A = this chain, B = another copy of it.
Amino acid sequence: MNQPLSVSQSQNNVNQTIIASTLNSRARDANLTVVPKTTCPDCRLSDLCLARELDAAGLSDVGKFVRNSKRLRKGQHLFRQDDEFHSIYFIRSGFAKSYINNSGGDEVAVSFFFPGEMIGLDGLHDGRHTASIVALEDTHICELPYKALSKVMASSPGVRERFNALLSRQIVQEQAMTMLRGQKSASDQLKAFLLNLSERYARIRLSPISFRLPMTRKDIAGCLNLTIETVSRLFSQFQEQNLVEVSGREITLTDLQRFNS
């Protein structure tokens, strides 16, 4: 289930198209012109991962190092809680969520991963992953075997610095989630949640105003420690207040000013 995929350029010439079609159709704009080949140097998201630094480190072909194009169908797991750690991953296209089951078996914590975001560092600490990762839709993932990465870091300060910065970014992202969950009312929590999604869409140069929610109401509720009914009612309420327009998973933040305050 984990065999390395060969990554000659010819095999990957559809990835960019996949990014464009997977994401919110409304936001398919000038920034998303389709580039036929997506080796690391070409990847639209390479400034978000380690590819540039690996390239600068003089790896003749980064493609030999990064196993890209691991593909997950909707609902498939990348790994599960307690699985052995051996790689870190970057989402190339699609979306994933993480979740943790407590001792009683309930899903108690959930967070989401966007294109360009890193997954798997929780396993570095003691060699086992503390959360499970599942694809919310068809998702392409790049895999960096940690042992090999570690070897490169020995000689490349650039890769090392970048890796540390990514680890720190992860900590900051976790803090941001903690912050939005810390809002006192469910309404403020959901607003903060939507603004967080908005920012992350902006980072991958998609519309921060009008986008598709990659997750179900249940996932949102799980993330914010609310019930699906409450989330649903809040969406309806925001719509009545002309703060947003919602239609299923499609959402438009019509009054970002008022939404933010």
Q: Please determine whether A175 and B122 come into contact, CB atoms closer than 8 angstroms.
A: yes
Q: Please determine whether A109 and B174 come into contact, CB atoms closer than 8 angstroms.
A: no
Contact (A168, B131) CB under 8 Å given A175-B109, A179-B102, A183-B108: no
A5 CB–B CB distance under 8 Å: no
| A158-190 contact mask (Cβ, 8 Å, vs B): 1 or 0 | 001101110111111011011101111000000
Segment at the B interface, from A13-21, A22-30, A37-45, A149-157: A149-157
Q: Please determine whether B100 and A130 come into contact, CB atoms closer than 8 angstroms.
A: no
User: Which residue of B has the minimal Cβ distance to A181?
Assistant: B181
What's the number of copies of this chain in the assembled complex?
2
A258 CB–B CB distance under 8 Å: no
CA distance A160 to B164 in the complex (A): 10
Q: Please determine whether B131 and A175 come into contact, CB atoms closer than 8 angstroms.
A: yes
User: Which residue of B has the minimal Cβ distance to A260?
Assistant: B103
Q: Please determine whether B225 and A108 come into contact, CB atoms closer than 8 angstroms.
A: no
A123 CB–B CB distance under 8 Å: yes
Q: Please determine whether B130 and A172 come into contact, CB atoms closer than 8 angstroms.
A: yes
Chain B residues, Cβ within 8 Å of A175: 100, 109, 122, 130-131, 174
Q: Please determine whether A168 and B125 come into contact, CB atoms closer than 8 angstroms.
A: yes
In the complex, 8 of the A-B residue pairs with CB atoms within 8 angstroms, ordered by the A residue number, are A100-B175, A102-B183, A124-B164, A125-B165, A125-B171, A154-B160, A174-B174, A181-B181
Q: Which residues of A contact B (CB under 8 A)?
A: 100, 102-103, 106, 108-109, 111, 121-126, 130-131, 150, 153-154, 157, 160-161, 163-165, 167-172, 174-175, 177-179, 181-184, 225, 260
Given A109-B178, A122-B172, A167-B168; 12 other pairs, CB 8 A cutoff? A108-B183, A109-B179, A124-B167, A125-B165, A125-B172, A167-B167, A167-B171, A170-B171, A171-B174, A177-B178, A182-B225, A184-B225
